[in-house]
């Protein structure tokens, strides 16, 4: 079992920044990657970014490239999502998740195993 706790969400004006954190605990040694996803009301869960735990290789959704940055601190078992130049359409609940296996697309939420409770990000125009 892996437990994930997100923090850092909130209300921000368009153009502003937020940094989300996700602290992992439990059996984290078998983690291949950690990812961030988001879900807006009435929409499907959407891939945001991911990072492999050992090599630090990153992946981003196209609309986040250049604005968002994912990083990790292995010693703290924590992954971060720095979000800059936020837009109203970035408003959603943001979830972090762990992926145990290398198999399957890193962008596919069905390939992830454990999820946090989510943190709300609201961007006002």
User: Tell me, what's the pLDDT at 55?
Assistant: 85
User: Tell me, what's the pLDDT at 27?
Assistant: 87
pLDDT (tens, 9 = 90+) of the chain, 125 residues, equals 999 999 999 999 999 999 999 999 998 888 999 999 999 999 999 999 999 998 889 999 999 999 999 999 999 999 999 999 999 999 999 999 999 999 899 999 999 999 999 999 999 99
Token pair 């990657």 in the structure block, residue:
33
User: Tell me, what's the pLDDT at 17?
Assistant: 98
Closest residue by Cα to residue 62 from 40, 80, 46: 46
Angular region, 89: left φ>0, alpha ψ -120 to 50, beta rest: alpha
Neighbours of 9 (CB within 10 A): 19
Closest residue by Cα to residue 106 from 39, 53, 69, 68: 53
């Amino acid at each position: 079992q892996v437990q994930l706790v997100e923090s850092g969400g909130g209300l921000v004006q368009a153009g502003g920044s937020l940094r989300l954190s996700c602290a992992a605990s439990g059996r984290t040694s078998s983690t291949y990657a950690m990812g961030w996803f988001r879900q807006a009301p009435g929409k499907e869960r959407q891939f945001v970014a991911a990072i492999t735990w050992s090599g630090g290789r990153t992946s981003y959704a196209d609309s986040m490239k250049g604005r968002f940055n994912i990083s990790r601190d292995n010693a703290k078992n924590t992954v971060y999502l720095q979000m800059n130049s936020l837009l109203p359409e970035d408003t959603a609940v943001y979830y972090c998740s762990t992926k145990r296996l290398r198999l399957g697309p890193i962008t596919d939420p069905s390939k992830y195993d454990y999820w946090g409770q989510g943190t709300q990000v609201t961007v006002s125009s």
